[in-house]
Amino acid sequence: MEKRRLGNSDLFVSKMGLGCMSLGTNEEEAKKIVQHALENGVNYLDTADLYDFGKNEEIVGKAIREVRDDIILATKVGNRWNDVEDGWRWDPSKKYIKSAVKDSLSRLNVDYLDLYQLHGGTIEDHFDETIEAFEELKDEGLIRFYGISSIRPNVIKQFLKESSIVSVMMQYNLLDRRPEEWMELLKEHNVSIVTRGPLGKGLLSEKMLAKASSKIKENGYLNYSYQELEETIDSIHEKLGDKRSMNELALQFNLSHPSVASVIPGASSIAQLEENLQAVNNPPLSKEEVDLLKQLTKPSHYEQHRD
């Protein structure tokens, strides 16, 4: 599988990573999914300390024990759950980050992280303190590089200005094109985009509207009413579905943008993972296909969290 450089780092990640949040808590099944991904060219695994309150990191750690040096391992920090009874709270403080990284390393049973990501961010955060924590962790050899997982424009701009991030993880798909506003700026700063949610809650998978929840049927999805969703998805399938699967169109659309280093769909089964592997290993979209997909879907931008 093609590898792409992550920002200005020396990390070369597979153009499709594995989003580990969907692995579940059955260790044997999760291990099979991870191994199948690795056997098929995926070298980039993304988890977070929040997923199943640390259990996901433990499961990933066991699955990669024998191949640690062959993979790019990423996790996230900032959603603190070890001092509250129910749920979590936001804590981007230096003290917490430097403590939490040791807990993640322990659960993953590794000595270092390839990529450590701030799992969110608000404009009220003390950015200097957060960035200082990541820079110190780099100097200490506990992490190789760091990035952020944020959709908030004012947070992204602040980190581009003040830090040495190599990546920004953002939700991006044919039905949520808001990150396009930032692609050129990120490219100018040599910061890569890693995309999550590429299948739009399953609406862009082979099951299409069969995956629509009752909430989506009632309220639509982002700036699409349910009727608009039906019309848009039907038109995509009608005009391009004879040559490409919906999975393929969705994942390849993300990968068509030079700013995107990797697309990270989740997988709760080997069959689901295999669909995504086939989709990304097929030929890339032509310019004409990309242009048509843009014509069939809505451009949009973030309304909130702006200067």
Q: What is the mean pLDDT of residues 211-223?
A: 92
Only one residue has tokens 């862009």, namely 204
For residue 296, tell me if it sits in a domain. Answer: no
Non-local CB neighbours of 127 within 8 Å, separated by 6+ positions: 158, 159, 162, 163
Provide the annotated active-site residues.
51
Q: What percentage of the chain has pLDDT greater than the value 90?
A: 79
For residue 52, tell me if it sits in a domain. Answer: yes
For residue 270, tell me if it sits in a domain. Answer: yes
For residue 180, tell me if it sits in a domain. Answer: yes
Pairing of strands 72-77, 113-118: parallel
For residue 220, tell me if it sits in a domain. Answer: no
User: How many folded domains does the chain comprise?
Assistant: 1
Non-local CB neighbours of 170 within 8 Å, separated by 6+ positions: 149, 150, 151, 178, 179, 182, 193, 194, 195, 196
Residue 127, CB-side half-sphere exposure with 13 Å CA sphere: 17
For residue 224, tell me if it sits in a domain. Answer: no
Give the pLDDT band of residue 271 (cuts 50, 70, 90). Answer: very high
Instruction: Supply the pLDDT for residue 97.
Output: 96
For residue 97, the domain's CATH number is 3.20.20.100
pLDDT score of 299 more than 80: yes
Q: What percentage of the chain has pLDDT greater than the value 70?
A: 100
For residue 90, tell me if it sits in a domain. Answer: yes
How far, in Å, CA of 137 to CA of 142, rounded?
5
The domain of 8 spans 3-202+248-285
Whether 119 and 48 have beta carbons less than 8 Å apart is answered as: yes
pTM for the predicted model, two decimal places: 0.93
pLDDT tens column, 186-200: 999 999 999 999 999
How far, in Å, CA of 178 to CA of 304, rounded?
12
pLDDT tens column, 66-104: 889 899 999 999 877 777 777 777 788 999 999 999 999
pLDDT tens column, 18-39: 999 999 899 999 999 999 999 9
Non-local CB neighbours of 222 within 8 Å, separated by 6+ positions: 175, 176, 300
pLDDT score of 152 more than 80: yes
Percentages (nearest 5) of helix, strand, coil residues in the chain: 45, 20, 35
pLDDT score of 304 more than 80: no
Instruction: Supply the pLDDT for residue 192.
Output: 97
Task: Tell me which of 249 and 150 has the higher pLDDT.
Answer: 249
For residue 238, tell me if it sits in a domain. Answer: no
